[in-house]
Amino acid sequence: MHHAALVLFVGLGLCGAANGCASDPAYPEYPLDGITVFVGFEEPICGGTFDWMEARLRWLEAQTGVAVSIPSISYYWLREDVLDYCPTGACAHGTKIYSPLELFSHELVHGHLFQLGRPRPWLTEGIAAMLEDSRWSVLEPAMTPSEMLAQSDARRLDYDSAASFARYLRDRFGMPAVIELYAALDRVDAQETPNVFLAVLGEDWRSVEEAYVALTPDPVGSLNCDFPMLAPEAGTWTLPIASAWCENAAAVGPFLGLDASFIPYSERHVIVEIPEDGLYTLIMTSTTNAGVGVIACDEPLDGFGRYNTHVNESIEFVPGRKRLTIVTEVANEAVGEVVLRRGPAAVPGAPGARESGTPGQASGGERGAPGRSARGGAWHPRHGQIRADSGRGPV
Ligand SMILES: [Zn+2]
């Protein structure tokens, strides 16, 4: 290797260590309300993306009762460059957050709550996962609260378990108390945590843990359903899938993964109001592979997800608002139609026959496992390659 090339290589290596760089690369910068976005890719940004980011931050303020931080959040919306800052593919360093778009809503929670301090991972990750723009079931948490409390490294934490326990605490004590606990546990170690827990919540850690593990946990996540309502005509909802969707003011994307092997896609959401329970049929026809999915906005959790060119699916719904999401590939956008109507599918057992009533099961994968789809409203089969971050401060 030539000396010049070696110097360059070493220079890049140091710079890539995140702490060794005097300044960040000059990413194009988009100042939004309460958040500045630095964009590390060339692809066009879909029409509704920045609105969605701002709305998510406003929602976090309302949900947590914590005002937007000063300095405001810097979001480094990166693809492979994110690995220069975060070994796991997404992380938060104070109010600077680094991730692909898939994990933006999770990292935003870390960036927003950084002003309160740094509790241990069971709480920082539990709240971040609970407040993600997503919704999924955690039927059998893999870790107990005390097992999670012992973990000082977020990479050894089960995020689903953390989200589940955080939701339990919010349901039982209320969000203001959970936020108070968050601040009170700033840099408090595992041994001292139960004392602070008792002082803030007025309950013993052990007894709360025992009550929690005796329950079947509720679903977790905080699905954003602040999207236009699609009205039915004669009991049928119809939504065209059009080319150039990314330009639409309701489209969010591009979702780019962490490297070039990921097929970029964008999402578009509408809300449908299911008036009564029973069987419904969802039919999608598309010129190329596309994703279609439905997740309940409210309790209980129902829904499904598919990625194909044709879908003909009978689904059993309970009444309520559902977020209907259509996913199209950026480079190969689909043209077609989605139709949702009352009644069972015309051809029983047709391709796409219902496999499961919950998105997590329908996708056949857990969080982080290849093939998961419905969770987070992100449908692409490769989405699962991305694992949520640490959320820890810089090492
Ligand atoms: Zn996190």
Compute, in angstroms, the gap from residue 90 CA to the centroid of ligand 1.
Answer: 8
pLDDT of residue 259: 86
Task: Please tell me the chain's helix, strand, coil percentages from 3-state DSSP, rounded to the nearest 5.
Answer: 30, 25, 45
Where along the chain do its domains lie?
24-48+63-112, 121-213, 236-382
User: Which residues on neighbouring strands pair with residue 328, listed in sequence order?
Assistant: 266, 290
Near ion ligand 1, which residues have CB within 5 Å?
125, 128, 389, 391
Q: Kindly state the percentage of the chain with pLDDT values over 90.
A: 71
Name the residue type at position 112: H
If pLDDT is split at 50, 70 and 90, which confidence band does 70 have? Answer: confident
Compute, in angstroms, the gap from residue 103 CA to the centroid of ligand 1.
Answer: 9
| pLDDT > 60? residue 148 | yes
Compute, in angstroms, the gap from residue 308 CA to the centroid of ligand 1.
Answer: 31
Q: Do 221 and 129 form a contact (C-beta atoms < 8 A)?
A: yes
Tens digit of each residue's pLDDT (9 = 90 or more) over 73-96: 999 999 999 999 999 999 999 999
Find tokens 């969000």 and name the residue: 175
Tens digit of each residue's pLDDT (9 = 90 or more) over 230-282: 999 999 999 999 877 788 888 999 999 998 889 999 999 999 999 999 999 99
Q: What is the dihedral of CA 215, 221, 222, 224, to 10 degrees?
A: -140
Between 48-57, 93-102, 326-335, 348-357, the lowest mean confidence (pLDDT) is in 348-357
Task: Tell which wins on pLDDT, 68 or 379.
Answer: 68
* Separation CA 166–CA 119 (nearest Å): 13
Mean pLDDT for the stretch of residues 43-65:
96
Q: Is 249 exposed, middle or buried (0-12, 13-18, 19+ CB in 10 A)?
A: exposed
Task: Tell which wins on pLDDT, 222 or 345.
Answer: 222
Compute, in angstroms, the gap from residue 48 CA to the centroid of ligand 1.
Answer: 24
CATH number of 236-382: 2.60.120
Tens digit of each residue's pLDDT (9 = 90 or more) over 210-239: 999 999 999 999 999 989 999 999 999 999
Compute, in angstroms, the gap from residue 359 CA to the centroid of ligand 1.
Answer: 22
